[in-house]
Amino acid sequence: MSETLTPPTATETPRLTQQVLENRFVRLEPLTEAHRTDLQTACWADPDLWTRLYSFSMLPDRFDATWGMLVGGQLVPPSQTYAVMRGGRCVGMTSFIGIDARNRTVEIGGTYYAPEFRGGAVNPAAKRLMLGHAFAAGMNRVQLCVDALNARSRAAVLKLGAVHEGILRAQKITWTGRRRDTVVFSVLADEWPAVRDRLDARLAAFT
């Protein structure tokens, strides 16, 4: 797993490489054309969610444009998007966005799962991989931002062990034209061991 990497020293620049990340629950693969059809199926399974809660759209009339942005690393660039694999098929996606090697910060965002994969092991397992990879690469801070209207995601991020930092009012205009308030959470490098252990204990409860 990615935690075996040796983090850079204080004078080195961290390098967050995009690579396959895997545990017993999910496999995260760099997003490619091979995932396109499965991701379409997953995204189109809940069209109302894209209208209500996402700043970008993966609905049919916008899928191609957004797909190009994702695979091109342009979702808050520079970014890296992963296909979330379960049982050999893509059931969602998640991204490292706004990668800032100089300041050793990155955000995990752009996350979506097909409805049947919400509320179980998939999200904590994927976040376990993403957080572990980021901190192993030498990041000091991993940020998670959630639409203030998204009560389910806010609760999920808190359950991960991230710290609630506050709300940025009217921080973003979504693709529908709505002004979005954004709730900011973070995990710092020195907090990661405790968060990691908490996540591992939580995942151990899944069979």
Residue ranges per structural domain of the chain: 2-204
In the structure encoding, which two tokens stand for residue 93, read together? 């996606």
Looking at residue 13, what DSSP letter applies? P
In the structure encoding, which two tokens stand for residue 196, read together? 């990691």
Q: What is the pLDDT of residue 13?
A: 66
pTM summary value = 0.92
Topology annotation, domain 2-204: Aminopeptidase (3.40.630)
- pLDDT over 60 at 9, yes or no: no
Q: What is the pLDDT of residue 5?
A: 46
Query: What's the CA angle centered on 117, arms 153 and 205, to 5 degrees?
Result: 85
The residue type of 50 is W
In the structure encoding, which two tokens stand for residue 94, read together? 């998640």
- pLDDT over 60 at 107, yes or no: yes
